[in-house]
Amino acid sequence: MAMATDVPKEGFRLSMLIYDTRYRSYTIQLVVLVLFAMAVAWLLNNTVHNLALRGKEFNYGFLWQRAGYDIGQHLIPYTNDDNHFRALLVGLLNTAVVAFFGCIFATILGVVVGVLRLSRNWLVSRLMTVYVETFRNVPLLLWILLSYVILSEVTPLPKDFKVTDEMIAAGEAPKASMMLFDSIAVTNRGTNIPAPLFERGLGTLDLGFMSLNLTFWAIAALIAASIWVNHRIVASARATQESTGVRPVTWWKSLLVLFAPVIALLVALGFHLEIPALKGFNFQGGILVAHSFTALLIALTLYTAAFIAEIVRAGIMAISRGQSEAAFALGLRPNRTMSLIILPQALRVIIPPLISQYLNLTKNTSLGIAVSYLDLRGTLGGITLNQTGRELECMLLMMLIYLTISLTISTLMNMYNRSVQLKVR
C-alpha cells in the first residue's frame, strides 16, 4: 500500500499576504513603513514650501559666519571672531563636561545615600530620607538658581583677599584667604584654581574647523593604555585564582602601571602649576571656573543623586535577605557584605533605571541658560539662533546632537549592563 510521505507544497497567492500568519506581520510592517515615509515626505515638502513662501531656504551655511559673541567658559580656544560652528563646539564641550562630572558625582552620592537609607541607625536613615524627599520634590531649576545665588552673594570680594602694609604692621589678617595651601580662591566672580602648564608641550594640530591639543591627547591616550594594561593584570590574577585557588599579589603592579608612565610623561613635558595671584582688582593666572558652571554642577548632582539613591535602595531590597545572613554566617562584616555580596547582585536591578537618570541629567544641562552658562542650548539654540534667524536649522541640529549623545550613553551603559548580568552555566 502506498503512503504519502511529503506534504504537497502549496503555491504562493497574494491573498496569503493578509490571511497567512507567516506573511501577515511583514505586510503590516511594510504598510506602516510606507505610511510613515509618506508622512515624513509630506511634512518635509510642506516645510520647504512654506519656507520658500517666506523667502527662506534650508541650509547650514550660517555655521561658517562670524559668531560675534563671547563665551566666558570654554575648554578650547575661542574668540568672538570665530564662526558659529566653533561656538557650537564650545557649547557642546561645555555640555559634555557638566554631564560627565555630574554623572560621576551623582552616582557616588546616590549610592552612598541609598545605602545609608537602609541603615539601622534611625537618625542616619531619617536624615537621608529628608534629603531624598526634599531634593526630588523641588524643581531642578530652583536648585540651580539657589546654588548660583549662594555662590554669588555669600562668597567674598577679590579685594577681601588683599593684604596691605598697614595690615601687616598691625598684625591683622585679611577678611578672606585662599584655600588648599593658598592655591584656590573662591570669590563672587568665580573660583580661581591652578592651571596646568607644560614647558615642553607637543603643540597643536589644526584640522581647519578645530585644533587638537596634542599634549592633552597624549596624556589621555597614555592614561587609557595604563587602565587597559591594569585591567589585563587584574583579569590574569583572577584567572589564576580560579584555576589554582591562590590569588597573586598585584597591587604593586597596578600602582606601577597606573602612575609611573603618566608621571614620567609629565616630567618629560615639564609639567608645573600656575597658581592664581591677586593683582590689582582681581586674581590673575590659573583657571577661572565660573559660578554658573559650579552652580549647575552642584544642582544637577544633588537633584539626580536623590533619584539614584531610591534606585540603589530598591536594588538592594530586591536581593534576598538570605544572602546577607549567609555572608554574616561566614564571618563577613556588614561593609564587606554590602560591597562584595549585595551591591554586585543588585547592579542588574540598578543599571537599567540608572541609564534613564544619566540621560535626564545630560538633557537637564540645558537649564544652565538660566544662570548664563552657555552650553549647547545657550550657543546653538540661543545666541546663534537669535542672530541668524535660522530657527528650524538650529533646532533640528540641536535635537540631532542631543539624540546622538543620548544614544551613545545608552549604548555604553547597556554594554556594561550585559557584562554584569548573571551568567547561566
Query: Among the three residues 239, 274, 309, which one is the final residue of a domain in this structure?
Result: 274
Q: What is the pLDDT of residue 130?
A: 96
Query: Among the three residues 274, 293, 323, which one is the final residue of a domain in this structure?
Result: 274
Same structural domain for residues 237 and 380?
Answer: no
Residues above pLDDT 90, as percent of the chain: 53
d(CA 304, CA 106): 6
Alpha helices in 178-249 (DSSP H): 214-244
Same structural domain for residues 257 and 125?
Answer: no
Q: What is the pLDDT of residue 26?
A: 81
C-alpha cell at 291: 559660578
Same structural domain for residues 240 and 306?
Answer: no
Same structural domain for residues 83 and 157?
Answer: yes
278 contacts 286 by C-beta, under 8 angstroms: no
| pTM as predicted | 0.85
75 contacts 289 by C-beta, under 8 angstroms: no
94 contacts 375 by C-beta, under 8 angstroms: yes
Band (pLDDT 50/70/90 cuts) for residue 165 is confident
Query: Among the three residues 242, 274, 306, which one is the final residue of a domain in this structure?
Result: 274
CA angle, 300 then 303 then 305, to 5°: 100
Beta bridge partners of 289: 191
**What CATH number does residue 95 fall under?**
1.10.3720.10
Q: What is the pLDDT of residue 117?
A: 92
Same structural domain for residues 217 and 78?
Answer: no
Kindly state whether residue 17 falls inside one of the protein's structural domains.
Answer: no
Least Cα distance to 312 among 359, 360, 345 occurs for 345
Alpha helices in 75-213 (DSSP H): 84-116, 122-136, 140-154, 165-170
Total structural domains within the chain? 2
Same structural domain for residues 296 and 169?
Answer: yes
Q: What is the pLDDT of residue 351?
A: 92
Same structural domain for residues 230 and 293?
Answer: no
Same structural domain for residues 205 and 189?
Answer: no
Beta bridge partners of 324: none
Same structural domain for residues 171 and 296?
Answer: yes
Same structural domain for residues 173 and 217?
Answer: no
- Domain residues for the domain of 260 are 195-274
Query: Would you mind telling me the total number of residues written for the chain in this entry?
Result: 425
Same structural domain for residues 154 and 202?
Answer: no
Q: How confident is the model over 222-255, as pLDDT tens digits?
A: 999 999 999 999 999 988 988 888 888 888 999 9
Same structural domain for residues 129 and 223?
Answer: no
Least Cα distance to 314 among 346, 356, 359, 352 occurs for 346
